[in-house]
Amino acid sequence: MKKILITGGAGFIGSHVVRRFVNNYPEYQIFNLDALTYAGNLENIKDIEKEPNYTFVKGDITDESFIETLFQNQQFDGVIHLAAESHVDRSIEDPLAFVKTNVIGTMNLLNAAKKQWLGNFDGKRFYHVSTDEVYGSLGAEGLFTETTAYDPNSPYSASKASSDHFVRAYGETYGLPYVITNCSNNYGPYHFPEKLIPLFINNIINNKPLPVYGDGNYTRDWLFVKDHAVAIDLVFHDGKNHETYNIGGFNEWKNIDLVTVLCQIMDQKLGRTTGESAQLITYVKDRPGHDLRYAIDASKINTQLGWKPSVTFEQGLEITIDWYLNNQDWLNNVTSGAYASYYEKQYS
Ligand code: NAD
Ligand code: DAU
């Protein structure tokens, strides 16, 4: 039986990855390590918590001795590392928190894996989940490829870039068998409502302003989260060691166009008159260092591993909106407590 450590499995993307691995690989023992920060929520994986091949471990990847002991005790065969501080706006407020988790936390995992595996790397794999933001910002043309130079602009993307470099360095220096993926913006169920799509769905439901940063002409490439989980599964099993794969949705949207479509769908779902939700759109102060455009060239993973998104944006958005409308208890739970003071500070 293979033992796989998945970090950050109580978060947005991690919960979809954990669910997929627990359900699809009964022959694996899946360990979900998560510190349960504001972004981690055991509700996200409630449906699989009693499965015999699943174990939840509450712990912090910044705790070096805890991580070393966990590796010594469990002797993992593979690591899929998603735990991170993930929100750009929060990184502008508190960059050091991002260095601690995203850089030091990744280092602790790398050191523990190296210590356990050095001398026999057979069948071992360290999978580091990263972001397209490490490449910086595109102008109106072009796509990020696996050879695009790193050029991070936010404390978040700088911390992810740093962790990517360390993973690669451990591969070159110690021979650690690693893979890295750099993915574009995800959306879907269990997305914490500080990020654009779930924040705006929640605000539309509650008739609150929709704070569009700057002129709204910033562009992102959106991918349905379950398609990211499929890609992670493929790369974990079939990707080549010491390689990077870009993952994207072939699906670019200017923020203001996306928000307009979201408002139209929400009007229909909530029985509002056409244009009612769009009246909530409010242009607010721009994000400092705001990257203009991200867009991924996902042809490598497409041609080498046969991956492509399975749902269109229209389908994915419909599934997502329906999920939030049917899970308002989840929304209310995660937006109580500390969320209110975060929101007040960010948007007042
Ligand atoms: P998230 O913020 O929803 O979840 C992060 C999880 O990590 C949470 O469960 C949190 O409790 C846990 N965590 C945070 N600090 C920890 C620590 N010190 N120790 C242990 N656990 C800790 O993030 P997400 O959006 O699901 O992103 C997951 C990963 O994917 C991140 O590495 C992120 O950089 C990357 N990524 C995200 C996107 C996206 O669009 N969301 C796109 C590309 C890549
Ligand atoms: O590209 C991958 C990245 O996508 C991931 O690595 C990050 O973890 C993830 O958070 C996401 O980063 P973004 O900064 O692109 O996502 P966010 O949802 O915060 O913002 C998307 C766009 O919407 C961006 O141009 C900023 C804008 N925005 C965001 C918020 C929260 C607004 O206009 N208003 C808002 O209130």
Instruction: Dump pLDDT digits (tens) for 97-115.
Output: 999 999 999 999 999 999 9
- Max alpha carbon distance in the chain (Å)? 66
Which run of H or of E encompasses 169? helix 155-174
Cα 271 to ligand 1 centroid, rounded to whole Å: 35
191 lines ligand 2 (CB under 6 A): no
Tell me the C-alpha distance between 72 and 113, whole Å: 9
* pLDDT tens by residue, 233-284: 999 999 999 999 999 999 999 999 999 999 999 999 999 999 999 999 999 9
CA torsion 327→328→330→334, rounded to 10°? 150
Q: In what order do the strands lie in the sheet with 243-247?
A: 54-58, 28-34, 2-7, 78-81, 125-131, 178-183, 243-247
Mutate to test the pocket of ligand 1, among 5, 15, 37 (most ligand atoms within 8 A of CB): 37
d(CA 98, CA 104) in angstroms, rounded, equals 9
Domain CATH code at residue 90: 3.40.50.720
pLDDT surpassing 80 at residue 1: no
**pLDDT averaged over the chain?**
98
pLDDT at 141: 96
Give pLDDT, residue 181: 99
Establish if 329 belongs to a structural domain: no
Structure confidence at residue 263 (pLDDT): 98
Locate 20 and state its tokens: 């997929």
Give SS3 for 328: helix
Q: 88 CB under 6 A from ligand 2? A: yes
Question: How many domains in the chain?
Answer: 1
Asked, for residue 288, whether it belongs to a domain, the answer is no
Distance in Å, CA 213 to ligand 2 centroid:
10
pLDDT band at 307 (very low <50, low <70, confident <90, very high): very high
Q: 151-168, pLDDT tens digit by residue?
A: 999 999 999 999 999 999
Euclidean distance between CA atoms 74 and 21, whole angstroms:
18
Residue 67 binned pLDDT confidence (cut-offs 50, 70, 90): very high
CB atoms within 10 A of CB 271: 7
Nearest protein Cα to ligand 1, atom 37: 131
By the 8 A CB rule, do 187 and 316 touch?
A: yes
Under DSSP, is residue 144 helix (H, G, I), strand (E, B) or coil? strand
* Closest ligand 1 atom to 37 CA: 11
User: CA 324, CA 333: separation in Å to the nearest integer?
Assistant: 12
Asked if residue 257 is part of any domain, the answer here is no
d(CA 185, CA 190): 14
Tell me, using a 6 A CB cutoff, whether residue 228 lines ligand 2: no
| Residue of 318, 310, 327, 129 whose CA lies nearest to 223 | 310
pLDDT of residue 348: 86
Domain that holds residue 241: 2-187+222-250+294-311
Residue with tokens 């072009």: 142
pLDDT tens digits for range 209-225? 999 999 999 999 999 99
**Beta pairing partners, 283:** 212
Instruction: Tell me, yes or no, if 318 is annotated catalytic.
Output: no
DSSP SS3 for 93: helix
Which helix or strand (DSSP H or E) is residue 79 part of? strand 78-81
Q: How far apart are CA 341 and CA 182, in angstroms?
A: 32
Q: Does residue 297 have an active-site annotation?
A: no
User: Which tokens in the block code for residue 29?
Assistant: 């023992």
Kindly report the CA angle at 197 between 37 and 312, in degrees rounded to 5? 120
Domain assignment present for 41: yes
What pLDDT was estimated at residue 152? 98
In a domain? residue 137: yes
- Whether 106 is in the pocket of ligand 1, judged by its Cβ within 6 Å, is no
Considering the domain boundaries, does residue 106 fall inside one?
A: yes
Residue 127 near residue 247, CB atoms below 8 Å: no
Q: Do 70 and 57 meet the contact criterion of CB atoms below 8 Å apart?
A: yes
Per-residue model confidence (pLDDT) at position 214: 98
Tell me the DSSP string of 227-262. HHHHHHHHHHHHSPTTEEEEE--S-EEEHHHHHHHH
Provide the whole-model pTM: 0.99
What is the rounded average pLDDT of the residues 290-310?
98
Q: How far is the CA of 217 from the centre of ligand 1 (A)?
A: 26
φ, ψ of residue 11 to 5 degrees: the values are -90, -165
Tokens 């068998």, residue? Answer: 177
In a domain, 78, yes or no: yes
Residue 246 lies in a domain: yes
The predicted-structure confidence for 324-346, as pLDDT tens digits, reads as follows: 999 999 999 999 989 999 999 99
Q: Taking 90 as the threshold, does the pLDDT of residue 304 lie above it? A: yes
- How many whole angstroms separate alpha carbon 237 and alpha carbon 260? 39
Would residue 257 show up in a list of annotated catalytic residues for this protein?
A: no
Task: Identify which of 81, 82, 86, 88 to mutate to test ligand 2's pocket (most ligand atoms within 8 A of the CB).
Answer: 88
